[in-house]
Every structure is written in C-alpha cells, then in structure tokens.
Amino acid sequence: MTVSAVPSEASSASAAPRSGGVRRSVLRRVAPYLQAGPLALTLLVFLLIPILTIVAVSFWDYDSIRIYPDFVLTNYEELLTSPVTWKTYLNTVKFAALTWVITLLIGFTVAYFLAFHVRSTTWQMVLFLVCTIPFWTSNIIRMISWIPFLGRNGLLNSGLISAGLIDQPLEFLLFSDFAVVLAFVHLYALFMVVPIFNSMMRIDRALVEAARDGGASAAQVVWNVILPLAKPGIAIGSIFVVTLVMGDFITVRLMSGGQSASIGLMIANEISLLQYPAAAANAVVLLAVVLIMVVAMLRIVDIRKEL
Amino acid sequence: MTETRTGSPLSAGTTTGVSRRTLLKGTAAAAGVAIGSGAITGFPTIWAQNIKNVTLRQFGTGVSNLNAVADKVKEDLGFTLQMTALDSDAVAQRAVTQPKSYDIADIEYWICKKVFPAGVMQPMDVSKIKNFDKIVPIFVNGKLTPESAVAQGTAPHTVGFVEGKDSIKFAKSATQWMTLIPTIYNADTLGIRPDLVGRPITSWTDLLDPAFKGKASIINIPSIGIMDAAMVCEAMGEVKYGDKGNMTKEEIDKTLKIMTDAKKAGQFRAFWKTFDESVNLMSSGEVIIQSMWSPAVAAVRAKGIQCVYQPLKEGYRAWGGGLGIAKHLSGLELEAAYEYINWYLSGWVGAYLNRQGYYSAVLDTAKEHMSPDEWAFWMEGQPAKTDILSPEGKVMEKAGAVRDGGSFKDRMGRVACWNAVMDEDRYMVRKWNEFVAA
C-alpha cells in the first residue's frame, strides 16, 4: 500500500509547486493508515507474533527437560494418532454442545422475558443488572462454591435426605459430567442473555403487533418473528459460549475432580510437564477447530447485517 | 514459641539466642565486633554489614517454603529470603526454563534428576558444609543403617553428588560435590478415615478394594501417582517389577491397565493435585482412602475429624527434598547461600520440620531444639507425655497419642521405594494422561 502511495506523491510534488496543498493531500491519504496503526501494531505484537511463535514451537522437538529448535512432525503425529486426543475432543465437544443448548434455552427465555414482558425501561434495566450480580465475584469462587453444595455430605444431599426424598446421597451431583455442565451453564449463561437481549430490543414492536393482527398465536410470533430477528444475538452468544467452553481447563478439572478430560486440561498438563512443543501442537489444532466452528456459525447467521 | 517452651531444657539455648541477637543489634555497624560475637556463640561467621542487603530468592514446593523460616533467617543471619511456593511440576519447569529467576532451588530429588543435568545449578563444596558428616546416611550411601537395603526409585544418594565442580554427571558414590543439601523428607503411605472404612487397612491393595468404590482417590502428579499405583499393583501380585522407580514400557502398561479398569469401574471419587484438595476430599467425607501427605493428615485431624496415616505391610513410598544453588550465584550472594544452608542444618529448622511430622537431615542438631517429650513422640514413636504442639503452638496431638507408623527407624527403615523419574518418563506421562482421560 505504502509503496504505491510514494511514487504518486513524488509525481504530484514535481508537477505542482504548491507544496502546502500537496502536504494536505498526502496527510489525507496517510491518515487512515495512521489511525489504524495503533490497533494493527497491538494485534501484531500481542496476537499475531505469539500465535506464529506457537505455530513455530509446535514443530520443535523436546525431551523431559528441554526443547530443541527443529522441524519435526512427531508432535502432530502423536497428537492426531492418539485415541486419547479423539476421545478428549469428543468429550470437550460434548461439554460445549450441552452447555450451548442449555444456555441458549435459558438465555433466550430470560432475554424474551426482559424484552417483551417487562414493560418499563427502568425495570428492564434493574432486572438486567440483577442478572449480572454473579459476575461481581470471580469465576473460580463461583465454581468452587458448588463443591460444598453438591458434595456427598453437602447442602443439597443433606437437604434431600432430611426431607425424606432420598435415603442415599446422590453421588452423581459432584465430580461428574453433570457437575461440569452445571458449572459451565452457571458461568456462561449471561454471555447468551446479553447479546440476545440486545437483538430483541432492536426488534420493531410493530412487527409483533402486525403478526398478532394477522392471527398468529404467541408461539407462532416467537417462532416466526422473534427467533429469526434474534438470530444475530444468538450467534454472538453462541460464539462466546462455545469458544469459552472449548478453551476451558479449570472448570473441568475442579468440577470433575480431575477425572474428566478437556483439551484445555490436556494442554495444561503438557505445559506442566515441560512438553511445550506438544502443548503448542495441541493449541494449534484447537485453534483451527474453534475457528472452523466459528466460521460455520457465521455461515448460518450473517451477524454483520444486524450490527 | 519461646514463651511456650520456657522451663524446658531448651530455654538455655534460647537465652543465648536472644543475647546474641541483642549483641548483634548493638554492634551491627562494627563488623569486627560482630565477627567476635559470632565466635563467642559458635554461630557461623557473621558477615559485614553489606550482607544485610543481600536478598536470596528461594522457590520450591509448598512443604518447606515456610514464612517462619524466612523470618528466622532475617533474625539470625540478617539477610532477606524471598519464598515462592509452586507445585512440583511447576518447580521442575521453572528450575530449567528460568534459571535466572531464583538463587536457591528447594526441590525434590526426583526433580533434581531432571533439572541438574540441564546445567542450571552448581554443586556445593561439602567441606563448606559444617554438619555434613552428621547428615542421615540415607542421603550419602542410601542406607539408614549399615545393614539396611537400598530402596528402589530415585534414591537420594544416586543423584546427591556429581563428579566435579563443573560436572553435570551424577557420581556413583559420595564425592566432594553435592547437588542438593537434604533438608526435608518423609515416608508416605495411604491416609484413611478410620471411622468410615469400617475395617482394618493393612495393605496397599485396599486402595482398589471394591468395598471403597467411589470413595478412593489417588494423587494426579504422574511421577508420584505412578509409584502409588505400582505399590498397589505389586501388593496385589498382578505386576512384578524389576525396579518400580524405573519401569519398562510393559510394566507401565500393565500398571495403568489395572488403574484404568478400576477407574472405569468407578473406584475413584476424584484425583487430587494439591495439598488442600486432598485435605478437603478427606474432611468432607467424599473420599475415605487415598494417597496422602503427612501434613494433610494433620490438617484433617486439626478439624477434629479422625484420620490415620496408615502404615502398610508392603512399606512406604518415600520422598526427599533439598536446597540447591543456582549456577549464576557468586561472590557475596554465594557466601550468603552457604551461610543459609549451614544455618538450615544447625537445628532450628530441623526441629520445626520434625514438629510438623517431616524429618530433618541432621537429627542431632534438631534434637537440641526439641524437648525430650517432643523428640520421644516424633522420632522414637513413644506415647506423648504432654500435649504435642505444632510449630505454631496449636495442639496437634493430646497426651497419650502415638505417632502413626511409630519411630523414625520404623518408618524410614521400611521404605520400599523413592519418588522417581524414569527413563521411560515421556511414555509414562503419556500413558498416565490416558489413564486420567479414560
């Protein structure tokens, strides 16, 4: 870009002696680049270079204490041929899918209620802020607080037993896939609520009225009017939830009692054992998978149309 | 601490300590007088004023990174010790990848086997270590008493020495150059909840007893967990090992097959990675039998919950750690590091560690800092005559209690295996991860 700009600048300078006007027009041409510069530089230094480093390291060799610059494919070979990798990906995708479905249902319902059933703007804002209250404490604390609640001798089990509903504590509540998905839903539901709520607030109420006048039932209004118009919000929320779950490691480790696997956990294990090249290869594959998922979602819903 | 023990034979020693400190304070500016006071009390050389500006950065596992030690160093030696506590994996990683980020590494012997050959540390000249000849012989020739057998695994003496000052090759027998000065070690076994297991526990096989289905746990640090697993499989008679500390691929496969089957059958409630996780699993009753560390057992008991560090007939899995010096250290800082290490072995820390249920490397000096009753309880396996206090002064055991496993000789004399790093380390870790993901 700059290369093409330089000769034109030179020729215009030689053609016209009015240097003041030239300077202004040069400035006008360079200004967009200057404006985009800081962001481009930040992305280059903090995103592009680290990712390229990870890609480079993923081809290096290693032993139990050191890594050696090299170009080997063993990291990818060991990763892609190991049944554990496939099982772990399957497991992570399962967590992502379950969390997505549940947060979508909750998110859509909550957003629908806020947008269409709460009439006053004040109450809408108040209730919306109520939704964010859990976010006033840290992720980890919200997660850990489930452990004493769900445990074998935890609040829930003791409560159910003393109410006479069960006579044996329910073991599946904690350190299980159930616990993992529960924590994910708790942590990420708001990421679904916010964008869907945002989309719904932009829907022209006249459309809903028109549908009613046309004889549509409440369910038909939701299905044929609101849902299609809320799609961009759903897509953005889905991207949040899916990428967060795909990359998570601490929730899976804490809530499954270290007994379930996720890609993030696998990478964390490899890092802790100094197997950086293996971890890098794993990260590159994860990045590719997540990007494919995001692209697929954007293919289904064109979010630009609504932004 | 001083107050609680006044009246014990120790008070004499404490008093000299106080007077030495007072002396030091008054004469801090005059280095000559300070050296004089060092000579009077027989304490290691007191350095000139400028040693107070030295800061040594120590990092290691949580067990021995105690703030009390840093405070006491400041008080006794005058310089600052900064402590960072990490888990064992992170320690090994940081020791190799960021050798400039620490001055003193407090690492376990199996970590030393990985880290020292990377050339990031320097061996120590034993002629500068005052109490070297009093160090428990396990760390010098591998034998507690001349008759005892050398345990399997990464026994400390096998990685305790290198061939020369600049060598990174471990020596077969003791030399003048020591990689780590041993500081802390212990014999590990299974922890149980005697009120919930409902029968006597005598063997490592009990970890996989179907009676405890969904109520067992194992440590999820591969190099340690694999040892506990091996103790179990060997006790079951399912796998015969040449050396549990250095398994063949086939032995690793067999061991983890048994563990994976148990996991799939729902034997384990959870896996734990950090000290507090093991305490919480046990005290909440989620788990009633698991791999455990001695202070974790003490922490469960401190909550008023019964917990026993059960001696088992197959013996203990032992571990040990020590202090090593980073390669980049030289001059005054290096002298300060030697000073610190000599101080470490001079008794105060030893007594502190012994009172936590660990063992110290030089027993004679630690004994001087403990009351006869404490010594008898912790080291000789005798019933406590008075309440046994933790180093912080909390009651750990009531009078009449006996230490689980008995005396030092009974426990350290029955070590079957040391924590280890194997030749097939990379394979083992991969298989371990498969087990965890299964």
**Residue B301: which domain range?**
190-314+407-437
Of the candidates B86, B90, B160, B156, which has an alpha carbon nearest to the alpha carbon of residue B123?
B160
Whether residue B246 is found in the same domain as residue B361: no
The Cα diameter of chain B in Å comes to 71
Of the candidates B13, B14, B20, which has an alpha carbon nearest to the alpha carbon of residue B44?
B20
Nearest 10 degrees: Cα torsion A218, A223, A228, A230: 60
Q: Do A175 and B269 touch (CB under 8 A)?
A: yes
B118 contacts in chain A (CB < 8 Å): 65-66
Nearest 10 degrees: Cα torsion B7, B10, B12, B18: -100
pLDDT digits over B43-90, tens only?
445 555 667 788 999 998 767 778 888 999 999 998 899 988 887 777
Nearest 10 degrees: Cα torsion A220, A226, A228, A230: -160
Whether residue B223 is found in the same domain as residue B233: yes
When scoring B426, B428, B432, B435 by the number of chain A Cβ atoms within 10 A, the one with the most, hence best to mutate, is: B426
Q: Do A152 and B284 touch (CB under 8 A)?
A: yes
Q: How many CB atoms lie within 10 A of CB B304?
A: 7
Task: Name the DSSP letter for residue B218.
Answer: E
Of the candidates A136, A63, A73, A45, which has an alpha carbon nearest to the alpha carbon of residue A285?
A73
* Residue B148 contacts residue B136 (beta carbons within 8 Å): no
CA distance A175 to chain B (A): 7
Is residue B359 included in any domain, yes or no?
A: yes
- Can you give the pLDDT at residue B170? 93
What's the rounded Cα separation, in Å, for the pair B80 and B355? 24
Q: Are strands B152-153 and B308-310 parallel, antiparallel or unpaired?
A: unpaired
What's the rounded Cα separation, in Å, for the pair B5 and B12? 11
Q: Pull the structure tokens for residue B429.
A: 């870790």
Whether residue B289 is found in the same domain as residue B429: yes
A258 contacts in chain B (CB < 8 Å): 220, 270-273, 436
B286 contacts in chain A (CB < 8 Å): 151-153, 174-175
Is residue B381 included in any domain, yes or no?
A: no
- Can you give the pLDDT at residue A29? 87
Is residue B30 included in any domain, yes or no?
A: yes
Q: Pull the structure tokens for residue A76.
A: 């990818």
Residue B76 to residues B13, B19, B69, B331, Cα–Cα distance (Å):
14, 12, 10, 21
Q: Could you report the average pLDDT of every consecutive run of 10 residues in chain A (307 residues)?
A: 42 50 80 91 94 94 78 89 88 94 95 90 90 83 88 89 88 90 93 92 90 91 91 93 92 88 86 84 94 91 70
Of the candidates B410, B222, B397, which has an alpha carbon nearest to the alpha carbon of residue B316?
B410
CA distance B66 to chain A (A): 23
Whether residue B179 is found in the same domain as residue B323: yes
pLDDT digits over B331-349, tens only?
889 999 999 999 999 999 9
Of B269, B285, B437, the CB nearest to A84: B437
Whether residue B180 is found in the same domain as residue B63: yes
Classify residue B222 as left (phi > 0), alpha (psi -120 to 50) or beta: alpha
Which CATH class, in words, describes the domain spanning A84-305? mainly alpha
Q: What is the pTM of this model?
A: 0.76
* Residue B68 contacts residue B27 (beta carbons within 8 Å): no
Classify residue A186 as left (phi > 0), alpha (psi -120 to 50) or beta: alpha
Please tell me the total number of residues recorded for chain A in this structure. 307
Q: Pull the structure tokens for residue B47.
A: 């350095």
What's the rounded Cα separation, in Å, for the pair B353 and B391? 8
Q: Is the ipTM reported for this complex over the cut 0.85?
A: no
Q: Containing H/E element for B9?
A: none
Whether residue B10 is found in the same domain as residue B100: no
Whether residue B109 is found in the same domain as residue B2: no
What's the rounded Cα separation, in Å, for the pair A289 and B410? 56
Q: What are phi and psi of B135, to 5 degrees?
A: -65, 140
Interface check A84 vs B, CB under 8 A: yes
Classify residue A129 as left (phi > 0), alpha (psi -120 to 50) or beta: alpha
B222 contacts in chain A (CB < 8 Å): 273
Is residue B384 included in any domain, yes or no?
A: no
B214 contacts in chain A (CB < 8 Å): 171
- Pick the last residue of a domain from B31, B46, B61: B46
Whether residue B183 is found in the same domain as residue B231: no
Whether residue B212 is found in the same domain as residue B135: no
* Residue A148 contacts residue A155 (beta carbons within 8 Å): yes
Interface check A145 vs B, CB under 8 A: no
Q: Pull the structure tokens for residue A232.
A: 């961009």
Residues 6+ away with beta carbon under 8 Å from A17: none
Interface check A225 vs B, CB under 8 A: no
Q: Pull the structure tokens for residue B64.
A: 């021995």
* Residue A169 contacts residue B215 (beta carbons within 8 Å): no
Interface check A175 vs B, CB under 8 A: yes
Q: Do B286 and A258 touch (CB under 8 A)?
A: no
Interface check A213 vs B, CB under 8 A: no
Domain of B178, CATH number, reads 3.40.190.10
Task: Name the DSSP letter for residue B63.
Answer: T
- Can you give the pLDDT at residue B25? 44
A253 contacts in chain B (CB < 8 Å): 273
Q: How many CB atoms lie within 10 A of CB B263?
A: 19
Whether residue B105 is found in the same domain as residue B16: no
Is residue B386 included in any domain, yes or no?
A: no
- Can you give the pLDDT at residue A64? 65
- Can you give the pLDDT at residue B350? 93
Q: How many CB atoms lie within 10 A of CB A28?
A: 9
What's the rounded Cα separation, in Å, for the pair A91 and A108? 25
Kindly report the CA angle at B184 between B183 and B190, in degrees rounded to 5?
Answer: 165
CA distance A275 to chain B (A): 9
Kindly report the CA angle at A255 between A249 and A256, in degrees rounded to 5?
Answer: 85
Q: Which amino acid is at B234?
A: E
When scoring B93, B274, B287 by the number of chain A Cβ atoms within 10 A, the one with the most, hence best to mutate, is: B93
Would you call A222 exposed, middle or buried from its count of C-beta atoms within 10 A (0-12, 13-18, 19+)? middle
| A-B C-beta contacts closer than 8 Å | 81
Is residue B23 included in any domain, yes or no?
A: yes
Is residue B426 included in any domain, yes or no?
A: yes
* Residue B34 contacts residue B24 (beta carbons within 8 Å): yes
Q: Pull the structure tokens for residue A124.
A: 């809408």
Of B96, B214, B434, the CB nearest to A171: B214
* Residue B133 contacts residue B154 (beta carbons within 8 Å): no
Q: Do B271 and A258 touch (CB under 8 A)?
A: yes
Of the candidates A180, A194, A190, which has an alpha carbon nearest to the alpha carbon of residue A103?
A190
Interface check A245 vs B, CB under 8 A: no
Q: Do A259 and B263 touch (CB under 8 A)?
A: yes
CA distance B237 to chain A (A): 26
In which residue ranges of chain B is pLDDT below 70? 1-50, 62
Residue of chain A whose alpha carbon sits nearest to that of B427: A64
Whether residue B299 is found in the same domain as residue B424: yes
Q: Which long-range contacts (CB under 8 A, 24 or more apart) does B345-350 make?
A: B345/B129, B345/B130, B345/B131, B345/B134, B345/B135, B345/B181, B345/B183, B346/B44, B346/B130, B346/B131, B348/B72, B348/B76, B349/B69, B349/B72, B349/B183
Whether residue B204 is found in the same domain as residue B310: yes
- Total domains in the fold of chain B: 3
* Domain assignments of chain A as residue spans, ordered by start: 2-57, 84-305
Beta strands in B110-192 (DSSP E): 121-122, 124-125, 152-153, 161-162, 177-178, 181-188, 190-192
Residues of B with CB under 8 A from a CB of A: 87, 89-90, 92-93, 96-97, 114-115, 117-118, 214, 217, 220, 222, 263, 268-273, 280-281, 284-286, 421, 425-426, 429-430, 433-434, 436-437
Is residue B433 included in any domain, yes or no?
A: yes
